A and B are shown apart, each in its own frame.
Chain A
Amino acid sequence: MSKGLPETRTDAAMSELVPEPRPKPAVPMKPVSINPNLLGYIGIDTIIEQMRKKTMKTGFDFNIMVVGQSGLGKSTLVNTLFKSQVSRKASSWNREEKIPKTVEIKAIGHVIEEGGVKMKLTVIDTPGFGDQINNENCWEPIEKYINEQYEKFLKEEVNIARKKRIPDTRVHCCLYFISPTGHSLRPLDLEFMKHLSKVVNIIPVIAKADTMTLEEKSEFKQRVRKELEVNGIEFYPQKEFDEDLEDKTENDKIRQESMPFAVVGSDKEYQVNGKRVLGRKTPWGIIEVENLNHCEFALLRDFVIRTHLQDLKEVTHNIHYETYRAKRLNDNGGLPPGEGLLGIVLPPVPATPCPTAE
């Protein structure tokens, strides 16, 4: 008997609760391409200048997270990247301070300026990662932190009276430090990257690369790349987000040849050939950090800062954040997150997110 009844739609998405919009104007808009037989200069391209000026005034935010076992040189690398003391080294810890029992998350913000461009850089450190005897689920606090930042942004965005510029604390880039064993990736590395490559841009980095010779380095890199591919770990720049052919060829080159970058960090300067360079002094020579023959630090720096910084932010905002938002709204039955007056308690932000509904 009930075969003939229409099925009721119980999945009322948020947009269905919004009353019907007013009718659109009757004339549809058809883009007509005008033959650029412009009789004179209009000045449309000045919009670039206008935009540039505006962005320089507002400044930029960048949040970078470093993950890796202690002693791999994370803080030094970040300091070398940004040529300033933005990260406090763990070795300066007092001996009496206890080793953290779980992974802690420390975020420190600095403002740096160069060439009129102001950037608020936040370095998020994760002491205690991989340092315990039992490291099960040690990525969970990190994942939780990342999701909490998305949650904050979402809450702010959903507000009725919202700020002109929502403070962006989302993690734009996560540098994962691989220990230079020369063999292959550790299970902990694989687990971490598998879980987190879906929520944040991961850039794997081989730390302390001055312990490997050139052949060992290239073999190790190949093995790491293969392992990452076999395990389905998509590190940044992700293949699926390449927009056009140009991007694809450029990114392919980086993905297949240079990554993961084998880096050496240092904040001490030495005199080499009459120039002062950043380097590490050893009995058998001085390792120049910015020399491409010695290590790939310069490549990493150019990649992250000079060419792909804005793209890192875009991917975080347009893809990772949107995925989180869609999932959150779906889980909530199409409602935005928040606490209800009627005592309706929402499920807490999941520490281990369920696989994306696709």
Chain B
Amino acid sequence: MEAEANSGSPEDSWAFIQRPGEGCRTVPLAGHVGFDSLPDQLVNQSISQGFCFNILCVGETGLGKSTLMDTLFNTKFEGEPATHTQPGVQLQSNTYDLQESNVGLKLTIVSTVGFGDQINKEDSYRPIVEFIDAQFEAYLQEELKIRRLLHNYHDSRIHACLYFIAPTGHSLKSLDLVTMKKLDSKVNVIPIIAKSDAISKSELTKFKIKITSELVSNGVQIYQFPMDDEAVAEVNGTMNAHLPFAVIGSTEELKIGNKMVKVRQYPWGTVQVENEAHCDFVKLREMLIRVNMEDLREQTHSRHYELYRRCKLEEMGFKDTDPDSKPFSLQETYEAKRNEFLGELQKKEEEMRQMFVQRVKEKEAELKEAEKELHEKFDRLKKLHQDEKKKLEDKKKSLDDEVNAFKQRKTAAELLQSQGSQAGGSQTLKRDKEKKKTREEKSISDGTCTTPGKHPVVPCALVVCAV
């Protein structure tokens, strides 16, 4: 029955809504409404956005990873075969834009380089796990942003991991077991037996059984094709029984009958890649691309990514329910962290401020020193200058005195001269003059002028006066 609650208070004057599964009434339609075009509308929108698919190929060097990718997608991807001398495991990723009818696919193929080549392989799995985590992290960051563009985001999370098993025919290597165990909770792992034309049919069955039992006994969860949709349940069920697929890859073609088929040619016969009796390549292609691509993407998002997100957020200290089982207190931890962060920032700011103040003080002291020195210098120079000036003034004064004395003597001499000429004794005057001259010169050279009024006339003093 319909359920509606009518409450009078304005605060919560809206009825609760029934959720699916809670007894929603199914109403019959009296005619064609037209919303059966909804899946088409949805699909059209997805087509215009384009699809993403990311495959990770893990396997030892030389197991035919690149060739298999070429064969699966019917093209020749660029790339050169790697050497065996890599120092560590690295991942090489390439993105391609494929187009088929009106569907555009952004395909990213990530390949391990140097896997299994080292002498010590303990850490071989680590770069792979880190790479997968990095893609999840990037998506999580985008999701946590305030302004985000999730519907335009180029999804780089790995949707499928093909693990290449070497065709020894015996059992899994320990490296394989360890790596697959580390990867099974992070990505959909699909183990495949590579280069399976090296194993005969009987050996192959035994090999497959051994592998599956080893995986089970070690608790490795490989990707199981989903069986909940009736249309594909049957196909998926049978395929599940054929895991792991034994594949052969090849891009060489040969005309057999009237078709070109992909083959590998040996002296004893030709192996056809797409022949189901020869290998499981067709099954792999069916399962990976034509039937379960969407499911792989969904599992990656809803299972692996959610698990990563949960672990990451819990690691950062967030909880969903507090001890009283009250829902949801992200708030508190965020607040604490935020305060912590702000506190740190403040501390740093204080430190910088202090350092700055100190530097300024030092600089000031230096400058003061310099200033003081300059002042002192200035004072010294000033003093020197004053001393010089005083000396010069003294000299000038003495010179002036001499000039005055000379003038007096000159007038006295002229007076005498006029008296002498009256007496008529110019010669004696001359002689007197000469005597005076010598006397003056003598006194000047002595530096003493004791005779007042009769100062010697120095020729240079005369010159000075004239000037």
Contacts and interface: CB of A to CB of B under 8 A. Distances in A.
Interface string A10-45: 101111111101111111011111101111111111
A340 B45 CA distance: 40
A6 interface: yes
Interface in B1-37: 2-4, 6, 8, 10, 13-20, 24-37
B35 A114 contact: yes
A46 B46 contact: no
B141 A21 contact: yes
B446 interface: no
B295 interface: yes
B422 interface: no
B138 interface: yes
Main SS of the interface on chain A? loop
Contacts of A23: 134
7 contacts: A5-B349, A5-B353, A18-B141, A24-B134, A141-B14, A301-B33, A307-B41
Contacts of A85: 27
A335 interface: yes
A156 to B, nearest CB: 10
Contacts of A355: none
Given A46-B290, A107-B4, A169-B17, 16 more contacts: A27-B91, A29-B108, A34-B75, A48-B43, A55-B39, A88-B2, A102-B10, A104-B6, A106-B6, A106-B14, A160-B310, A309-B35, A310-B41, A318-B151, A341-B332, A346-B331
Contact of B334 (A45, A145, A322, A336): A336
Contact of A335 (B314, B319, B335): B335
B33 A27 contact: no
A274 interface: no
Interface in A46-62: 46-48, 50-57, 59-60, 62
Interface in A154-213: 155, 158-162, 164, 167, 169
Given A44-B98, A102-B13, A167-B19, A114 B332 contact: no
Contacts of A45: 100-103
Contacts of B3: 108
Interface in B86-104: 90-103
A167 B78 CA distance: 45
Interface stretch (A68-76, A115-123, A216-224, A225-233): A115-123
Given A38-B75, A111-B24, A10 B342 contact: yes
Interface in B335-387: 335, 337-338, 341-342, 345-346, 349, 352-353, 356-357, 360
A37 B96 CA distance: 13
Contact of A38 (B47, B51, B74, B290): B74
Query: Which range contains the number of B residues in contact with the other chain?
Result: 35 or more
Interface string A58-90: 011010000000000000000001111110100
Given A40-B74, A112-B29, A342 B332 contact: yes
B360 A44 contact: no
Interface string A308-341: 1111001000100010011001100111111111
B388 interface: no
Contacts of B253: 39
Contact of A12 (B8, B14, B338, B349): B338
Interface in B38-97: 38-43, 45-48, 51, 72-75, 77-78, 90-97
Given A18-B316, A51-B43, A164 B302 contact: yes
A14 B337 CA distance: 10
Interface of B: 2-4, 6, 8, 10, 13-20, 24-43, 45-48, 51, 72-75, 77-78, 90-103, 105-106, 108, 130-131, 133-134, 137-138, 141, 144-148, 150-151, 156, 229, 231, 253, 285-286, 289-295, 298, 302, 306, 309-310, 313-314, 316, 318-320, 322, 326, 328-332, 334-335, 337-338, 341-342, 345-346, 349, 352-353, 356-357, 360
A344 B339 CA distance: 14
A60 B365 CA distance: 77
Nearest to B8: A101
Contacts of A302: 34
A281 interface: no
Contact of B42 (A33, A310, A326): A310
Contact of B103 (A16, A47, A55): A47
Given A111-B24, A339-B329, A306 B37 contact: yes
Contacts of A48: 43, 46-47, 103
B293 A114 contact: no
A9 interface: yes
Contacts of A322: 147-148
Nearest to B5: A106
A108 B2 contact: yes
A15 B17 contact: no
A117 B314 CA distance: 38
A347 interface: no
A196 B19 CA distance: 26
A262 interface: no
Contacts of B38: 55, 60, 117, 119, 309-310
Contact of B98 (A6, A36, A39, A101): A36
B18 to A, nearest CB: 4
Nearest to B285: A43
Contacts of B151: 314, 318
- Residue of B92, B229, B328, B349 with highest tally of chain A CB at under 10 A: B328
A340 B352 contact: no
Contacts of B289: 42-44, 46
B73 A334 contact: no
Contacts of B4: 106-108
A271 to B, nearest CB: 15
A96 interface: no
Contacts of A106: 4, 6, 14-15
B30 A25 contact: no
A4 interface: yes
Nearest to A46: B290
Nearest to B45: A310
A15 B144 contact: yes
Given A13-B146, A44-B105, A340 B41 contact: no
- Residue of B98, B108, B131 with highest tally of chain A CB at under 10 A: B98
Contacts of A253: none
Question: Top 3 closest A-B pairs, CB basis?
Answer: A115-B36, A105-B14, A310-B41
Nearest to A82: B33
A305 B36 CA distance: 9
